[in-house]
Structures are given as structure tokens and as C-alpha cells.
């Protein structure tokens, strides 16, 4: 049983951790609750795409690439996203000739014929994801540290509110605003405790694991050396490219059960061309399987199967689906949405409780009224 002094210190830590990170936690948690419907939001924002037919057998990747090259001559096709259970279309990300280096155009294509529909008007779902993962323009480790802060808030809250079971159904609506907010704060924290731990831990991992990996690689001396671009270096010679569909079949042989979601192209059409197939695994939660080829030769450059790459790789592959809840269909998304709103509510109610406490302390410490009015 912690002493009163320890409890007071934990309460102070809990309060200040919540106040310092409260606004950012509210933004990240609220946007995270909404972003579970990223694909549905993008379709809602683009009604013409929602009306496209779903194809039981999507058209070949070679047809999609040929249609893009015919419609956008001179453009560089960088990524092709395959149709899935929500999105009825192929999507391609390309850099058009003469466009700024950082500008990409997202183009939709029919899944049944490969015909180009046109540029996607709105990417609202992607903007919400950028807000949740990067706070738009920040590095991802900032959101990772918010996950750590959330774990600190959870741990201190558990110790402070020791009588958890007794407070499960405590909600005193007829009391003061501070009491009502306090009961709401505790109830939301208790009922959503397991989910909050899951979201905080996976969010911290996703944000900070790459940072620790880079630091370890630097300390161990295994970080890849930066390659200086040689001035005036000639562009690789043109070369005949193999079938994307044949390479996709080879990728599925290299990693059995690979369900390709994205195809990434680099220097396509040249002797230095590379292609990478990325996606999930059939009957498995891991979402980081990939196979990379030298396109001109068809040689496998690298493959990654989380099932055989060791514990840490498997754990890393599980973090994103567990964090975003995109593996159980629409019912699980709704569950993640409602539970995901509770940490945002905790940030709001915790801030209001702290502000009300400061107001009450200011009133109590104010100047005492004189016993008798002065003449």
C-alpha cells in the first residue's frame, strides 16, 4: 500500500503529465478514433469512386500500368495500390513531368477494366491519418512519446484510484461539476483500461521503435553509409521490363500467403529498376510482409516474412493492425471508434478537473473578508 506522500507525488505527476500533453493527446486520440474509417471516409469524400463496381477478379497489373503510361506519358509511376474489401478501385501515385519534386498525383482506375477514372479529388482520410501519425508535419517519434505519456498516465491513475472495482458503476450526476467530471474521468479510464493500454503501447512502439533501431544501428556500426550522388551521373540504360503479374506470382511463391496491397516501382524501364510487393499474410495479423526484385533480371533482392524473421520482427508486424483495428471488418472498426473516443474524453475531463481545482484553490487562498465593515 503506497504511503500518502507517495500518492500525493503520483497525483502531481498524473496531473502535470496530463496537462502538458493534454491538448496533443486529445488531437491524436480523437483523430485516431476517426481514422479507423480512413478508407470509408475517402470513398465518402469521393462519391464517384464509391459507385465503381467491385471486381471479383481485378484486371492484371500489367494492364493497369499500361493504362497509366498511355494516359500520363512522361509521368513516373511510383506506387500502385490494389483493390480490397473496401476500395473498389486501383489507386496509383505518380509524379507528373514538370511537377515539383514533392508533389504526387493520386489516380483512380477501374478494377474490372483498368480504365483510368482520373485524379482523386479528396484525400480527407489520408489527411486525418497524417494528423494522427505525424501531427501533419512532425516526426513520428513525437506521437510515440505521447504513447509513453499515456502509459504513465494509465499507471499513475491505476495506483491513485486503487478501488477500481468499487468505482466501476460510480456516477454521481446530482453533485457538483467537479464531482461529475471526476466520476466520468474514472469510469472512462476503468472501462476502457485494456484498450487504452493496447493503444498506448502500440502507439509508443510504432513511434519510437524506428528511432531506437536507428540509434542501435549507429552504435553497432551497422547503419548504412550515405551515398553521395556523383555529379552528372548518367541515367541507367533503358531495359525491357518483365510482367508485373509474373513478378507478383513470384513474390507469392517467395512468401507463401502474401496478400499484396501495394506495388512500389523504382526507376522502372531501366536496367536499375526495382519493384517491391508489400502486404499482409493470409490468416495472419502481421502486415509487414514484402518481397523486392531486381526488375530487369527478376532476381529477389530481399524478402521479409514476419513469421520467420524472429520475435521482434513478428511483434513489429503486429503493432499496426492492433493499433488501427483494420483486421476485423466493420464491427471491429466501430468498436475501435467508440473505445478510441474515451482517451480523448479523458484528456478533456482531466483538463477541466485540473482547471476547476485551480479555481477552487484560488478562491480558498484569496484575501479573507474583514470581520466588521470599516466605517
Query: Is residue 232 pLDDT above 60, yes or no?
Result: no
Q: Pick from 94, 121, 148: which residue ends a domain?
A: 121
Confidence of residue 356 (pLDDT cuts 50, 70, 90): confident
Residue 170: predicted pLDDT: 64
What would the mean pLDDT of 75-83 be, rounded to a whole number?
Answer: 96
C-alpha to C-alpha distance for 324 and 336, rounded to whole angstroms: 8
The residue among 273 and 1 whose pLDDT is bigger is 273
Give the residue numbers spanning the domain of 82.
47-121
Residue 307 counted as domain residue: no
Q: Spell out the alpha helix ranges (H) of the chain.
A: 4-35, 38-45, 47-50, 61-71, 124-134, 140-160, 177-191, 193-220, 244-254, 311-324, 329-364
pTM for the model stands at: 0.84
Q: Output the pLDDT for position 98.
A: 85
Contacts of residue 263, Cβ cutoff 8 Å, sequence gap at least 6: 61, 79, 80, 82, 244, 248, 275, 276, 277, 278
Quick one: 144 and 206 in the same domain? yes
Residue 57 and residue 31 share a domain: no
Together in a domain, 34 and 103: no
Identify the CATH number of the domain in which residue 108 sits.
3.10.450
How many whole angstroms separate alpha carbon 311 and alpha carbon 309?
7
Residues 154 and 198 in one domain: yes
Looking at the structure, do residues 193 and 59 belong to the same domain, yes or no? no
User: Which of 55, 87, 121 is the last residue in one of the domains?
Assistant: 121
Same domain, 85 and 197: no
Q: What is the pLDDT of residue 352?
A: 85
In a domain, residue 151? The reply is yes
22 with 67, same domain?
Answer: no
Tell whether 240 is covered by a domain.
Answer: no
Of 52-61, 97-106, 199-208, give the lowest mean pLDDT range: 97-106
Domain total of the chain: 2
Q: What is the pLDDT of residue 334?
A: 96
C-beta of residue 336 within 8 angstroms of C-beta of residue 212: no
Q: Are residues 110 and 175 in the same domain?
A: no
* Statement to judge: residues 25 and 55 lie in one domain: no
Contact 247, 278 (CB under 8 A): no
pLDDT, position 177? 66
pLDDT band at 182 (very low <50, low <70, confident <90, very high): confident
Across the chain, mean pLDDT equals 88
For residue 250, pLDDT over 50 is answered with: yes
- DSSP per-residue codes, 158-174: HHHS--TGGGTT---TT
Of the listed ranges 68-77, 85-94, 152-161, 175-184, the one predicted with least confidence:
175-184
- Rounded Cα–Cα distance for residues 334 and 35 (Å): 11
Q: Answer yes or no: do 146 and 22 share one domain.
A: yes
Domain-located, residue 234: no
- Shared domain check, 153 and 19: yes
**CA–CA dist 352, 226 (Å, integer):** 49
pLDDT at residue 183 is higher than 90: no
pLDDT tens profile 312-326: 888 989 999 999 998
Would 105 be classed as within a structural domain? yes
Residues 366-371: what's their mean pLDDT? Answer: 58
pLDDT for res 375 = 47
| Average pLDDT over every residue of 270-286 | 93
Residues 6+ apart with CB under 8 A from 271: 236, 237, 238, 239, 296
pLDDT at site 373: 54
207: in domain:
yes
* Residue 87 belongs to a domain: yes
Domain end: 121, 152, 173, which one?
121
Identify whether residues 198 and 161 lie together within a single domain.
yes
Residue 134 falls inside a structural domain: no
Amino acid at each position: 500500500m503506497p504511503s500518502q506522500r507517495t500518492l500525493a507525488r503520483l497525483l502531481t505527476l498524473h496531473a502535470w503529465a496530463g496537462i502538458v500533453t493534454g491538448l496533443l493527446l486529445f488531437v491524436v486520440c480523437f483523430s485516431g478514433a476517426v481514422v479507423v474509417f480512413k478508407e470509408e471516409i475517402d470513398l465518402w469524400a469521393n462519391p464517384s469512386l464509391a459507385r465503381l463496381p467491385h471486381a471479383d477478379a481485378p484486371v492484371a497489373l500489367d494492364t493497369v500500368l499500361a493504362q497509366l503510361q498511355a494516359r500520363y506519358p512522361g509521368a513516373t509511376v511510383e506506387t500502385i495500390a490494389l483493390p480490397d474489401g473496401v476500395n473498389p478501385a486501383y489507386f496509383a501515385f505518380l509524379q507528373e513531368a514538370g511537377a515539383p519534386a514533392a508533389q504526387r498525383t493520386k489516380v483512380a482506375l477501374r478494377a474490372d477494366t483498368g480504365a483510368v477514372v482520373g485524379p482523386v479529388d479528396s484525400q480527407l482520410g489520408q489527411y486525418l491519418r497524417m494528423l494522427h501519425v505525424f501531427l501533419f508535419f512532425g516526426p513520428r517519434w513525437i506521437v510515440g512519446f505521447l504513447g509513453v505519456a499515456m502509459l504513465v498516465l494509465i499507471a499513475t491513475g491505476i495506483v491513485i484510484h486503487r478501488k477500481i472495482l468499487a468505482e466501476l458503476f460510480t456516477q454521481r450526476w446530482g453533485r457538483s461539476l467537479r464531482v461529475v467530471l471526476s466520476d466520468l474521468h474514472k469510469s472512462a479510464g476503468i472501462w476502457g483500461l485494456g484498450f487504452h493500454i493496447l493503444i498506448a503501447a502500440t502507439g509508443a512502439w510504432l513511434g519510437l521503435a524506428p528511432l531506437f533501431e536507428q540509434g542501435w544501428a549507429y552504435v553497432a556500426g551497422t547503419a548504412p553509409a550515405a551515398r553521395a550522388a556523383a555529379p552528372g551521373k548518367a541515367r541507367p540504360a533503358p531495359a525491357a521490363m518483365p510482367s508485373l503479374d509474373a513478378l507478383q506470382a513470384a513474390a507469392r511463391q517467395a512468401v507463401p500467403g502474401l496478400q499484396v496491397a501495394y506495388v512500389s516501382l523504382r526507376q522502372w524501364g531501366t536496367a536499375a529498376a526495382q519493384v517491391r510487393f508489400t502486404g499482409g499474410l493470409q490468416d495472419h495479423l502481421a502486415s509487414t510482409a514484402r518481397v523486392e526484385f531486381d526488375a530487369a533480371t527478376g532476381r529477389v533482392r530481399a524478402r521479409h516474412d514476419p513469421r520467420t524473421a524472429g520475435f521482434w520482427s513478428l511483434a513489429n508486424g503486429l503493432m499496426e493492425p492492433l493499433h488501427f483495428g483494420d483486421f476485423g471488418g466493420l464491427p471491429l472498426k466501430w468498436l475501435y471508434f467508440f473505445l478510441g473516443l474515451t482517451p480523448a474524453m479523458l484528456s478533456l475531463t482531466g483538463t477541466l478537473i485540473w482547471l476547476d481545482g485551480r479555481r477552487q484553490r484560488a478562491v480558498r487562498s484569496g484575501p479573507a473578508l474583514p470581520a466588521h465593515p470599516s466605517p
